Amino acid sequence: MVANPSLVLKKIDEIVFENQEAPTITEPTDVIVQVKKTGICGSDIHFYQHGKIGNYILTKPMVLGHESAGVVTEVGPGVKYLRVGDNVAIEPGVPSRFSDAYKSGRYNLCPHMRFAATPSTKDEPNPPGTLCKYFKSPEDFLVKLPDHVSLELGAMVEPLSVGVHACKIGKVKFGDTVAVFGAGPVGLLTAATAKTFGAAKVIIIDVFDNKLQMAKDIGVVTHTFNSKTDGDYNDLIKHFGGQPNVVLECTGADPCVGMGVNICAPGGTFIQVGNAAAPVKFPITQFAMKELTLYGSFRYGFGDYQDAVNIFDANYKNGKDKAPIDFERLITHRFKFDDAIKAYDLVRSGCGAVKCLIDGPE
């Protein structure tokens, strides 16, 4: 048996290291990846603290991690485009190839999706997470990283893809004025996507000045607004110089949803990206009178991972010193695999980490 050191969530409040059996090639298009970098996502912390998110309930142990990049170590005989030694970003959710959602091009909505480090809703083993030494994936759910896109950036392709999908759903385009609620990793990367898509003005709204400063420092916004200290939605509109025609809500928080509808321009678009722990109030009268369009956005779909890699590629094509957006500054904490539990406890403590990365096992 080839050892596969893994980080396992046993139950609420209990994470342990385990040596599991390494995956093997079983299908012609299988690829084995040695995981090198993994980011901690808010969903990981939810399962760690509460053992559930919505219908996904932890009833048996699972390997953590789904924001990862690594190096190809083995390929099946049917693999066409990847070679041993390639650096890749791992798309962590694989749908059923037979579902209507998959065949219609919306595989992120597949009811049979096997998503890394997400408890199974059926009586079957949990899908393995990526916080391990070796991870198996179909070739078409891996994206090769260009030479100047690092493995650390590769681990951020997953959250960036969430922003890419949301901006595509909302049809963000050149010249738009965009408001983003929430300056966490997803909010910052969604704002970066909106800017990359050509938005003329991007404002990000949060209640923490250090997060708003981060948005300024990395170059993803034209404006920031602290909704706790800078005023109400009328003050926000005045500060922004008008009403945004696109609102991307990345918090799921009741006040943000309400403010988002209130500031959105008549005929505008509201995209709900963030998840809420409980039902939220929604200003339906304002929404109707403005004839707003509402979209839900869930994870990412066909082409979003590749587009996220392309955003990194274009951003760094002239070198780090000339990059318009300093994505790497989002990485505020780095840990060795042996300290992975400390990393989870740090993020869980609410210490102000933006993106925490964990090295793969050596």
Question: The domain spanning residue 339 has which CATH number?
Answer: 3.90.180.10
Please check whether residue 302 lies inside any domain of the structure.
Answer: no
The residue ranges of the chain whose pLDDT is under 50 are none
Residue where a domain terminates, one of 247, 272, 296: 296
The answer to whether residues 140 and 177 belong to one domain is no
Residue 22 has what DSSP assignment?
Answer: P
Question: Do 120 and 188 sit in the same domain of this protein?
Answer: no
> Could you tell me if 163 and 186 are in contact, meaning their C-beta atoms sit under 8 angstroms apart?
yes
Would 292 be classed as within a structural domain?
yes
Beta pairing class for 56-57 and 52-53: antiparallel
Handedness of CA 39, 45, 51, 52 (dihedral sign): negative
Residue 34 lies in a domain: yes
- CA–CA separation, 143 and 82 (whole Å): 9
pLDDT at position 140, please? 97
Cα–Cα distance, 227 to 207 (Å, whole number): 6
Q: Are residues 289 and 264 in the same domain?
A: yes
Q: Which of 184, 116, 196, 193 is nearest to 160 (CA)?
A: 193
Q: How far is CA 258 from CA 216, 229, 261, in A?
A: 25, 17, 5
What range does the domain containing 243 cover?
Answer: 171-296
Whether residue 341 sits in one domain with residue 231: no
Buried residues in 93-114 as b, exposed as e (16+ CB within 10 A): bbbeeebebbeeeebbebeebb
Mean pLDDT taken over the chain: 96
Same domain? For 291 and 349 the reply is no
Domain boundary among 280, 296, 312: 296
pLDDT for the residue 175: 98
Q: Rounded distance, CA 321 to CA 75, Å?
A: 36
Together in a domain, 148 and 23:
yes
**102 and 205 fall within a common domain:** no
- 304 part of a folded domain: no
Same domain, 221 and 276: yes
Closest CA to 154 of 354, 305, 337: 305
The number of domains in the chain is: 2
Whether 203 and 249 map to the same domain: the answer is yes
Place of tokens 């050509």: 198
Please enumerate in sequence order all residues whose Cβ is within 8 A of that of 118, keeping only pairs 6 or more positions apart, or say none: 43, 56, 66, 126, 127
Q: For residues 231 and 132, state if they share a domain.
A: no
Q: How far is CA 315 from its chain centroid?
A: 18
- Return the CATH number at 238: 3.40.50.720
CA distance 343 to 360: 13
pLDDT, position 123: 80
Same domain, 340 and 288: no
131 and 223 assigned to the same domain: no
Q: How far lies 238's CA from each of 201, 241, 261, 289, in Å?
A: 14, 5, 16, 21
CA distance 57 to 225: 36
Q: Is 75 a member of any domain?
A: yes
Question: How many whole angstroms separate alpha carbon 56 and alpha carbon 115?
Answer: 11
Helix ranges (H only) for 126-232 are: 151-155, 157-169, 185-196, 209-218
User: What is the value of pTM for the model shown?
Assistant: 0.96
User: Per residue, what are the HEC states of 96-121?
Assistant: CCCCHHHHCCCHHHCCCCEECCCCCC
| CA–CA separation, 37 and 89 (whole Å) | 10
First vs last C-alpha separation in the chain: 17
